[in-house]
């Protein structure tokens, strides 16, 4: 099995490291959780019920943490950071709820997906509630510049989901097309989180752009590691079946590289798995062996490393300090994560 290594050393990051990195904003993250709970209150009982279920499902709250830490890096510690961190968590959660329906995923973070418990009809509307409520929250306290950016990011995410659907099952998707999907579905929200921190801190155009690019690179890194974990992770750690992307017809970077370098045998096996929507243990063994033989996982890891290093370079415009160290350390954590 290929092991994901740190960008800067051989230290393996753990969830404890993440807790340590986020310690300066621990109280703010707890307030984000309380704000999330407040905002899903409704006289329609199923809405808070689903909200509690989503919160109890866990999640690392990386996107809110990026926003909060970027705000502190730029000198802002007021209540608007918590509000906007809750907004981006609402947006992210809405996309997960809808994605699981689209992908027909039965499991999310080791538990039944929301639609598996409440059905597609209720879950679609619950996702819509989260989307609309996120913008309502932003409008209560924030400037139109922030709201416009959040709307733009959300539209790009929806465009990315639609674009991915048009490419679902297309084994001939190019690397450029795959990266376009990643940028829309994942990177723009990460970039927006970091940029909002700079906007709240009134850091100026140069630092605002630097944080936006940091978040953007971190988002691409995050998704590339997800691509890898679909082939190298442990199902128990991931909280979902291994190889789900390929069985669902999603062609990710390791497979794109394998098809380009693995010859007819690799191409035929990939097409068979996508066509059948299933893979036998023997064929999975063949596939993983070919991924190793043709260094396709190494290639995807190299690209991930590149984006991790790029993310950290963008932070060099800021002086050294615990906030900058935490954001840099987050890139190392992402590359080393196992779930």
Q: d(Cα 208, Cα 295) in Å, to the nearest integer?
A: 37
pLDDT band at 57 (very low <50, low <70, confident <90, very high): confident
pLDDT band at 252 (very low <50, low <70, confident <90, very high): very high
Is 45 buried (19+), middle (13-18) or exposed (0-12) by CB count in 10 A? Answer: exposed
Whether 51 shows a pLDDT value over 90: the answer reads: no
Q: Three-state DSSP class for 111? A: strand
How long a stretch of residues is the chain? Answer: 339
* Structural domains in the chain plus CATH codes: 15-336 (1.10.600.10)
> What Rg, from alpha-carbon coordinates, does the chain have?
20
Q: d(Cα 85, Cα 25) in Å, to the nearest integer?
A: 11
pTM for the full model? 0.88
pLDDT band at 68 (very low <50, low <70, confident <90, very high): very high
Tens-digit pLDDT profile for residues 258-270: 999 999 999 999 9
Whether 6 shows a pLDDT value over 50: the answer reads: no
Interacting residues of 78 by C-beta distance below 8 A, sequence separation 6+ = 200
Tens-digit pLDDT profile for residues 223-247: 999 999 989 877 555 445 667 889 9
Spatial CA neighbour of 181 closest among 247, 233, 239, 253: 253
Interacting residues of 326 by C-beta distance below 8 A, sequence separation 6+ = 21, 22, 24, 69
Whether 4 shows a pLDDT value over 80: the answer reads: no
Give the residue-averaged pLDDT of 275-286. 92
Tens-digit pLDDT profile for residues 74-94: 999 889 999 999 999 999 988
pLDDT at residue 339, as a whole number: 62
Give the residue-averaged pLDDT of 251-255. 97
Would you state the structure tokens that stand for residue 134, as one six-digit string? 């996120």
Whether 99 shows a pLDDT value over 70: the answer reads: yes
Q: Which of 21-25, 258-262, 297-301, 316-320 has the lowest mean pLDDT?
A: 21-25
Place of tokens 């750690």: 237
Q: d(Cα 186, Cα 123) in Å, to the nearest integer?
A: 21
Beta bridge partners of 111: 108
Helix segments in 23-143, DSSP class H = 26-39, 46-56, 62-73, 79-103, 114-118, 120-141
Average pLDDT, the chain: 88
Give the residue-averaged pLDDT of 100-106. 78
Give the residue-averaged pLDDT of 271-289. 93
Place of tokens 């045998």: 265
Tens-digit pLDDT profile for residues 136-194: 999 987 688 999 999 999 999 999 999 999 999 999 999 999 999 999 999 999 999 99
pLDDT at residue 12, as a whole number: 41
Q: d(Cα 88, Cα 287) in Å, to the nearest integer?
A: 37
Place of tokens 């795959």: 178
Spatial CA neighbour of 108 closest among 165, 58, 49: 58
């Amino acid at each position: 099995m290929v092991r994901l290594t740190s960008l800067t050393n051989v230290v393996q990051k753990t969830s404890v490291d993440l807790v340590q990195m986020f310690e300066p904003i621990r109280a703010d993250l707890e307030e984000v959780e309380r704000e999330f709970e407040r905002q899903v209150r409704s006289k329609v009982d199923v809405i808070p019920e689903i909200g509690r279920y989503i919160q109890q499902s866990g999640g690392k709250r990386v996107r809110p943490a990026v926003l909060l830490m970027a705000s502190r890096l730029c000198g802002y510690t007021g209540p608007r950071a918590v509000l906007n961190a809750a907004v981006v968590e609402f947006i992210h959660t809405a996309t997960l709820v809808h994605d699981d329906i689209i992908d027909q995923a039965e499991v999310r973070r080791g538990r039944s997906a929301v639609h598996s418990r409440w059905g597609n009809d209720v879950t679609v509307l619950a996702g819509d509630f989260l989307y609309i409520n996120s913008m309502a929250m932003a409008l209560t306290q924030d400037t139109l510049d922030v709201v416009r950016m959040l709307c733009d990011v959300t539209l790009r995410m929806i465009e990315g989901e639609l674009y991915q659907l048009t490419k679902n099952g297309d084994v001939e998707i190019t690397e450029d097309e795959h990266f376009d999907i990643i940028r829309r579905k994942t990177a723009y929200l990460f970039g927006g989180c970091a940029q909002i921190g700079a906007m709240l801190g009134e850091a100026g155009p140069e630092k605002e752009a630097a944080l936006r690019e940091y978040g953007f690179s971190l988002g691409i890194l995050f998704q590339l590691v997800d691509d890898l974990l679909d082939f190298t992770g442990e199902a128990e750690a991931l909280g979902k079946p291994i190889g789900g992307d390929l069985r669902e017809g999603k062609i990710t970077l390791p497979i794109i590289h394998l098809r380009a370098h693995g010859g007819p045998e690799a191409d035929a096996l990939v097409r068979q798995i996508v066509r059948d929507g299933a893979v036998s243990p023997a064929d999975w063994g063949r596939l993983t062996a070919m991924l190793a033989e043709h260094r396709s996982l190494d290639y995807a890891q190299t690209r991930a490393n590149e984006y991790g290093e790029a993310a950290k370079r963008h932070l060099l415009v800021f002086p050294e300090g615990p906030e900058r160290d935490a954001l840099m350390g987050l890139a190392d954590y992402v590359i080393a994560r196992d779930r």
